[in-house]
């Protein structure tokens, strides 16, 4: 049975390096699954007061329904100030509430971190893993994917042209497919 995987990109920028890497990862993934990009840029900041009946923002309702229908998640994030972008943390919070109704619970996930710098957004990758423990998202541990010097991997149209990067992404997505099969068996 084909699984439906949500792709959540932490960068909201139009020319996002993270989105380019996410698109390449999906293109290089085994054909076993379908992938759906889940937009997070329109989510109002989480405020428990808004979770009262009749006050829930429409964007929250749409997002919760969408991620609840998915079988797993691929998170692709840049690093902002040695951490994750606020937009991705907000998405985690919105999807985990109201308390006891988390849409993330028990599903498999994986993280790719992206940076124009040389450290592969290591801080963001590991910071994003922390809330996954509480959210009960089964994050794939190996292989890890840290994409450094991303501007050298992409052409002017955002296409991955670096063969080593394409190979890393293809291997990562192969492992992620096996991980999802294992967790959802």
Write out the chain's pLDDT in tens, 185 residues: 689 999 999 999 999 999 999 999 999 999 989 999 999 999 999 999 999 878 999 999 999 999 999 999 999 999 999 999 999 999 999 999 999 999 999 999 999 999 998 877 899 999 999 999 999 999 999 999 999 999 999 999 999 999 999 999 999 999 999 999 999 98
Q: Identify the sign of the CA torsion 134, 140, 141, 147.
A: negative
C-alpha to C-alpha distance for 8 and 156, rounded to whole angstroms: 23
Model's pTM, two decimal places?
0.96
- Determine the pLDDT at residue 1: 61
- Determine the pLDDT at residue 38: 98
Residues spanned by the domain of 29: 4-184
C-alpha to C-alpha distance for 125 and 83, rounded to whole angstroms: 8
Q: For every residue of 8-42, which 3-state class applies, written as one string?
A: EECCCCCCCHHHHHHHHHHHHCCCCCEEEECCCCC
- Determine the pLDDT at residue 94: 98
- Determine the pLDDT at residue 118: 83
Q: Residue 45: which CATH number?
A: 3.40.50.360
Count of domains forming the chain:
1
- Determine the pLDDT at residue 23: 98
Which residue shows structure tokens 């999906």?
A: 26
């Amino acid at each position: 049975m084909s699984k439906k995987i949500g792709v959540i990109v932490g960068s909201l920028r139009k020319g996002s390096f993270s989105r380019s890497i996410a698109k390449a990862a999906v293109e290089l993934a085994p054909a076993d699954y379908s992938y759906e990009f889940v937009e997070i840029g329109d989510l109002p900041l989480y405020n428990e007061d808004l979770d009262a009946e009749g006050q829930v923002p429409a964007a929250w309702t749409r997002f919760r329904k969408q991620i609840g229908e998915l079988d797993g998640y691929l998170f692709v994030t840049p690093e902002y100030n040695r951490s994750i972008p606020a937009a991705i943390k907000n998405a985690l919070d919105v999807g985990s509430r109201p308390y006891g109704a988390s849409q993330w619970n028990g599903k498999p996930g994986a993280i790719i971190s992206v940076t124009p710098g040389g450290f592969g957004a290591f801080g963001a990758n590991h910071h994003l893993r922390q809330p996954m423990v509480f959210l009960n998202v089964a994050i794939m541990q190996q292989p890890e994917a840290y994409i450094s010097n991303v501007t050298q991997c992409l052409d002017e149209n955002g296409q991955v042209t670096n063969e080593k990067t394409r190979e890393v992404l293809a291997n990562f997505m192969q492992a992620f497919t096996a991980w999802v099969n294992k967790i959802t068996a």
